[in-house]
């Protein structure tokens, strides 16, 4: 049985006060409940340290939303792996479709980021997913395969032990239009099979593959009960403690 992992990607939401209230509310909502899933929150960079302090006495883990692939130096505006670690991060989201489309990240830079994160002991949450146009053209599997191969190029199975994959169809992000459980399961199964070809059958059974894209309390249970869906990467619905905790309960 693979563990279930529910991560909240706050994106560019919540200032310091908002961070304190959301984390405090989450802790209150989760208190006394025996929640079997691993829970991760990914606030903006400026709030990581505060979040880390607030999470010290809880089982909720901390992640960042991005990283740079160099260790230090003249890279104005970027954040290094050591900075994330010293702020208390255990996880880091890499290759989110908003980073790819709005900020021009490529498979190559994503591959470098994954390698850097692993080298520094950070656990990547590596995002892949097709656009609506690609789905309508019938090239979903080609896109997924290419993103996965290029993103993981030159990395060994041993190095990937702590990596989480997140399948996020771009057309389902922030649109309220989630993939149906069948659509999501079909791609998750494809990803798992590909992992078994690229690495090993054993590793493909272990690796956690999250689904992301309009996950909410109302659809979480159905999505999370699919055999190859091991968790969720939640955007909008993680900004309210009660809806996020309902998703965790659904897992
Ligand atoms: P929404 O849940 O708002 O669709 O966002 C999903 C996402 O992009 C998580 O990384």
Q: Which range marks the domain in which residue 246 is found?
A: 4-250
Burial class (CB in 10 A: 0-12, 13-18, 19+), 7: buried
Whole-number Å distance between alpha carbons of 222 and 22: 26
pTM to 2 decimals? Answer: 0.98
Question: What number of other Cβ atoms are within 10 A of residue 130's Cβ?
Answer: 23
Whole-number Å distance between alpha carbons of 175 and 168: 12
Report which of 23, 111, 37 is spatially closest to residue 67, judged by C-alpha positions: 111
**Annotated catalytic residue within 96, 105, 130, 188:** 96
Whole-number Å distance between alpha carbons of 69 and 80: 7
Q: Which atom of ligand 1 is nearest to the CA of 236?
A: 3
* Residue 1 banded pLDDT, cuts 50, 70, 90: confident
Is 248:37 a contact under the CB 8 Å cutoff? yes
**pLDDT the model gives residue 67:** 98
Report which of 100, 179, 102 is spatially closest to residue 146, judged by C-alpha positions: 100
Assess whether 168 carries a catalytic annotation: yes
CB of 124 closer than 6 A to ligand 1?
A: no
Report which of 146, 152, 143 is spatially closest to residue 124, judged by C-alpha positions: 152
CATH code for position 113 = 3.20.20.70
Sign of CA dihedral 154, 158, 164, 167: positive
Report which of 169, 79, 150, 143 is spatially closest to residue 117, judged by C-alpha positions: 79
For 129-168, the pLDDT digits (tens) are 999 999 999 999 999 999 999 999 999 999 999 999 999 9
pLDDT at 177 over 90: no
* Residue 34 banded pLDDT, cuts 50, 70, 90: confident
Domain count, the chain: 1
Assess whether 222 carries a catalytic annotation: no
CB of 234 closer than 6 A to ligand 1?
A: yes
What's the mean pLDDT when you consider all of the chain? 97
CB of 128 closer than 6 A to ligand 1?
A: no
**pLDDT the model gives residue 58:** 95
């Amino acid at each position: 049985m693979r563990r279930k992992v529910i991560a909240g990607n706050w994106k560019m939401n919540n200032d310091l006060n908002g961070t304190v209230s959301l984390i405090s509310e989450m802790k209150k909502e989760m208190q006394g409940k025996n929640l079997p899933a691993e829970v991760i929150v990914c606030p903006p960079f400026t709030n990581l340290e505060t979040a880390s302090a607030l999470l010290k006495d809880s089982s909720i883990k901390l992640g960042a939303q991005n990283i740079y692939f160099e260790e230090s130096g003249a890279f104005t505006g970027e954040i290094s792996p050591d900075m994330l670690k010293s702020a208390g991060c255990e996880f880091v989201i890499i290759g989110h479709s908003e980073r790819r489309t709005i900020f021009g990240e490529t498979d190559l830079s994503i591959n470098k980021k994954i390698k850097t994160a692993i080298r520094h002991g950070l656990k990547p949450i590596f995002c892949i997913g097709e656009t609506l146009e690609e789905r309508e053209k019938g090239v979903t599997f080609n896109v997924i395969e290419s993103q996965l191969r290029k993103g993981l190029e030159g990395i060994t199975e041993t190095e990937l032990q702590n990596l989480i994959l997140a399948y996020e169809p771009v057309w389902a992000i922030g649109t309220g239009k989630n993939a149906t459980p069948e659509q999501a399961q079909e791609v998750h199964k494809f990803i798992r099979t590909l992992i078994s070809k690229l690495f090993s059958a054993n590793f493909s059974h272990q690796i956690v593959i999250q689904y992301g894209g309009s996950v909410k309390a109302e659809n979480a249970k159905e999505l999370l009960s699919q055999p190859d869906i091991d968790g969720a990467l939640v955007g909008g619905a993680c900004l309210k403690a009660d809806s996020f905790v309902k998703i965790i309960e659904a897992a």
